[in-house]
Amino acid sequence: MTISTQITGLIISLLICFIVAGLGALTSINAGEFYAALAKPDWAPPAWLFGPAWTVLYIIMAIASWLVWRQEGFGAAQIALSLYLTQLVFNALWSWLFFSLHNGMWAFIDISLLWVSLVILIYQFWKISIVASIMLLPYILWVSFATMLNFSIWQLNPELL
């Protein structure tokens, strides 16, 4: 694989992640106001933390998927990379469910499916690139935390979610 092919692959991986991030941002234009109005557990992070955290996570995810693609190509890594794209759909869908539809239950179901898909994805990546698999650990930790936060906020705000 040539250097230019590898660079193009990395750029595509980054673009895919930032398209997903952009879709999430579009569905959560009023997220700040809505999030501020919600009752939250004491351990909830401040709203400003989510943007930087997700930016770092999207970059790490893009690099991890690129490493898998670079190692095996799309054909040989089709299962792992298809699962990667699937979890990105769950990821993007969460913002729409929580911030646009204000549906805590469906957002919780979605983020739970995201978590399960990440467990499987980490295993699939492990079979191809241990480094790529390890790179996803901060992501699953964040999603684990976000799952608990989603559930807590949903339970604390039955009239809003």
Q: For the segment 27-69, what is each residue's pLDDT rounded down to a tens digit?
A: 878 788 899 999 999 999 998 999 999 999 999 999 999 999 9
Does residue 13 belong to any structural domain of this protein? yes
Say if 75 falls within a structural domain.
yes
Q: Assign residue 82 the CATH number of its domain.
A: 1.20.1260
Residue 58 lies in a domain: yes
Residue 102, domain member (yes or no): yes
Residue 161: predicted pLDDT: 92
Q: How many domains does the chain have?
A: 1
Alpha-carbon distance of 95 to 17, in angstroms, equals: 15
pLDDT digits (tens, 9 = 90+) for 72-112: 888 899 999 999 999 999 999 999 999 999 999 999 999 99
Q: Is residue 48 part of a domain?
A: no
Which stretch of 25-29, 129-133, 147-151 has the lowest confidence by average pLDDT? 25-29
Residue 11 placed within a domain: yes
- Contact partners, residue 151, CB within 8 Å, separation at least 6: 108
Residue 41 lies in a domain: no
Split at pLDDT 50, 70, 90, the class of 25 is confident
Q: How far apart are CA 33 and CA 161, in angstroms?
A: 14
Domain that holds residue 108: 3-28+54-156
Cα separation values, 160 from 8, 78, 103, 126, Å: 44, 40, 8, 40
Q: What is the pLDDT of residue 30?
A: 78
pLDDT at 32: 82
* Domain contains 45: no
Whole-structure pTM value:
0.93
